[in-house]
Chains A and B, each alone.
Chain A
C-alpha cells in the first residue's frame, strides 16, 4: 500500500469538504444549538411573567383570594380576583370572555360554593394546550379545594396546611464513583442527546462517503483513479478523509461545549441572567473516559457504515438510484433509533445488552447505555471486540464488492451478483 497516495485522497476529501457551505453552516450551528438549549430555559425563567388569569368569585368568601395567592406563588400565573355579585354572573363571564378575545387576559376560572362541593371546575382560556400550566392549575386547585373542604368541616387550618406541605422527589444517579450531582432528567436528556448526535454523525458522514463514490463513478474519473492507485487505497483514503472531517467538526463542537461549561457564568452574566435562574440549568458533566468511549464507538460505527454505503455507491449509477438502494443500510440505523426509548427505560435489560453486542447497533446503543447507567466492563469488552472484528470483516467484504462495482455501469446488480463479485474479485 502506498501511504502517499492514500494521503493524497485523504487530503482531497478533507479539504474539499471543509470548504463547503454545508460544513461551515453545520459547524457553526452546533455551538449555537448548544448555547440555545443551555441559555433558553434560563432566559425563559427570567422573562416569564406567566399567564394572566382571573378567578371569578361567585360568593366563596376567602377561597378565591386563597387560590389567587397560591397561584401567584409560582411564576407561572398572575392571578386576580374578580367578584361577581349574585345574578350578575353571566354578564361578568361575558365581559371576561371579551377580554380574553382581546388578548388582555389569558383565561379565567369561576369558583362558587357549588363547584367547591362538586369539584367540577372549568377553565376557559386562549391556550389550554400548555400541559405544564394546566397541570399546575389543576394541582393548585386540588390543594385549595381540599383545604377549603377540610376547613369547612371544622378541621384546624394550621393542621390542614401542615398536611398539605408539598413533597419533592430528588433523583440522583449512583455510579461507581458514588452519588453524582446529576438529576434523573439531566441523565436522560444527556443519553438522548448523545444517541441522537451519534446517529446523525454516523449517518451523515457515511452517506458522504457514498456520495463521493457516486461522484467519481458518474464523472468517470474513476477510470483514471483505478489506473493510478488500488481501489482499496482509494476507498481507505475516502473513509479516513470524510471521517476526519467528522472528527474535526466534533472537536470544534466539543471545545465549544467545554468552553460553555467553563465560561457559562460569564455568558449568563452577559445575558443578565441571575445565578438563581442559571442554577435551574443543569450542565451534565462528561468524564474523559466517557468521551473516549463515545469517540471509539463513533469511529467504528462510522467505518462500518461508510463501508456499507461505499458498496451502495459502487452499485448504482446516479444519486437518485442511490436513494432507493441505500434503504437496507439506512434501515439498520433507523432500527437503532427506534430502540432509543426502550433502551433508556431499562439500560441494563436483556434487550439493551443484546442490542449492545450487534455491531450495526452497538455504536449507538452502547454510548446511550453508558450515559444512562453503568455498563459492566465485561459487556463493554464483548461489545467492542465484536464491533472491531465485524468492522474488519465488513470492510474487507465491502472493498471486494467496491472494486468491481466502481467500473460497472448499467443495470443495478442484484444481491446475488454482488456476492459473486465479492467471491471472484
Chain B
C-alpha cells in the first residue's frame, strides 16, 4: 500500500444478521485520484463507504483516512460526504441549511455564508437561497446537498451515488465540478452503477460484487489487462451475410449488439485484420469497423456478472 493513499482500506469485513455485506475488501485511493467504486445493487458499495466514514464499524480489518485509523469524524473538516440516502431539514431555508452544515464542520459562519452564495449561484440556485428546502424539486435538493459537501473545501470527497436522480444537464455539471476539483488536487471517491459516467471521469476504478473486490486499478490499466482486443462493427443493411463469421468462436469470443453497432471481443490470439478480410469477402456492406478499447460496461458485465451470483439485496439495517 502506498503511503500517499488518502483512503486505505485493509481487509475489511462486515456481516449483518444472516449475510455478509462486505468480505475481505482492500483498496487504496491515491491522492488526487477520481476513484470509481463500481458494482451492481447490493454489492456492498454503500456499506464500504459507511465503513470508510466510520458510520459503521467493520467487524474485521482497518480503515485509514489520511494515514490515521481514528475514523472519519476526526478528519471531518477535510472530508465532504454525500450519503446515499439524501435528506435535508425540510423546514429550513436553503442558505441556512448550507451554513449550518458547514458550521458543524468547523467553517466560520461568515465564510460559510459567502461560499454558499457562490456555489448556489454557480448551480443556478441563486434565486432559491431564501426558499425553504421543501419548496425545492428533488433534483434541486440534491444539488443543495452536493454543495453542502464542498463548502469547507475538503481534500477528500466521498460521494455515494452522486448522479442518481439527476437529469443529463445536471449530471454533466456535476461531472465538470468533480473534474475541476480533481485538477485542484481534491481526491474523489464515488460509487455508481452507471458505467458510462465512471468511464468518462474516473482515473481509478474498483469493481465489487457480492461484497468482494473483483478488480481494481488505473482505468487504462484495467482496460488493457482485462479488456482483450475489441472491435466495433456496423453494417449498411442488416448483418445476415456476416452472421456466420461473427458466430465463429475461433475469431470472435463475444458479440454485444448495441443496435447502431456491435461490440466484438476478439478470441484469444485472433487478429482483427483477419476478421475484416472475412467480412469483406462475405459481401456484407460495412459502415464502421474500428479497433476500440473495451467499454467499462463490458468489463463490468464480464467481471461483476460472473461473481455476482444470487439475488442482491440492499442492506437496510446496520449494526455498528
A binding-site residues for B, Cβ under 8 Å: 2, 4-5, 8-9, 11-12, 15-16, 215, 218-221, 223-230, 404, 407-411, 425
Contacts and interface: CB of A to CB of B under 8 A. Distances in A.
Given A8-B100, A12-B100, A220-B86, A227 B91 contact: no
A409 B104 contact: no
Contacts of A2: 106
6 contacts: A2-B106, A215-B89, A223-B83, A227-B53, A229-B104, A425-B320
Contacts of B85: 220, 223
B103 A5 contact: yes
Contacts of B319: 408
B320 A404 contact: yes
B81 A224 contact: yes
Contacts of A228: 73, 76, 101, 104-105
Contacts of A224: 81, 83, 101, 148
Contacts of A221: 87-89
Nearest to B83: A223
A407 B73 contact: no
A22 to B, nearest CB: 12
Contact of A223 (B55, B106, B148, B317): B55
Given A8-B100, A229-B76, A409 B317 contact: yes
Given A223-B55, A226-B55, A228-B105, 6 more contacts: A5-B104, A5-B106, A9-B104, A404-B320, A407-B56, A411-B317
Residue among B73, B87, B96, B106 with max Cβ neighbours from chain A (10 Å): B87
A316 to B, nearest CB: 14
Those 6 A-B pairs whose CB atoms lie nearest each other, nearest first: A219-B87, A8-B103, A220-B87, A220-B85, A410-B317, A223-B83
A16 B91 contact: yes
Given A219-B90, A221-B87, A409-B316, A227 B54 contact: yes
Nearest to A223: B83
Contacts of A15: 96
B296 interface: no
B39 interface: no
A226 B85 CA distance: 14
A50 B56 CA distance: 74
B36 interface: no
Contacts of B55: 223, 226-227, 407
Contacts of B105: 228
Contacts, number: 76
Interface of B: 50, 53-56, 72-73, 76, 79, 81, 83, 85-92, 96, 100-101, 103-106, 148, 316-320
Contact of B316 (A8, A12, A404, A410): A410
B170 to A, nearest CB: 20
Contact of A230 (B73, B83, B96, B101): B73
A32 B35 CA distance: 62
A208 B101 CA distance: 21
A227 B52 CA distance: 10
Nearest to A410: B317
Contacts of B83: 220, 223-224
A300 B79 CA distance: 37
A247 B320 CA distance: 37
A227 B89 contact: no
A229 B81 contact: no
Contacts of B81: 223-224, 227
A401 to B, nearest CB: 13
Contacts of A8: 100, 103-104
Nearest to A2: B106
Contacts of B106: 2, 4-5
A408 B318 contact: yes
Residue among A220, A228, A410 with max Cβ neighbours from chain B (10 Å): A228
Nearest to A19: B91
B115 to A, nearest CB: 15
Nearest to B149: A224
A215 B90 CA distance: 9
A319 to B, nearest CB: 13
B52 to A, nearest CB: 10
Nearest to B75: A227
A270 B317 CA distance: 65
Nearest to A6: B104
A4 B105 CA distance: 9
Contacts of B88: 219, 221
Contacts of B103: 4-5, 8, 11
A223 B149 CA distance: 12
Contact of A407 (B89, B100, B101, B320): B320
A219 B89 contact: yes
Contacts of B79: 227
Contacts of B100: 8, 12
Contacts of A220: 83, 85-87
Nearest to A7: B103
Nearest to A212: B89
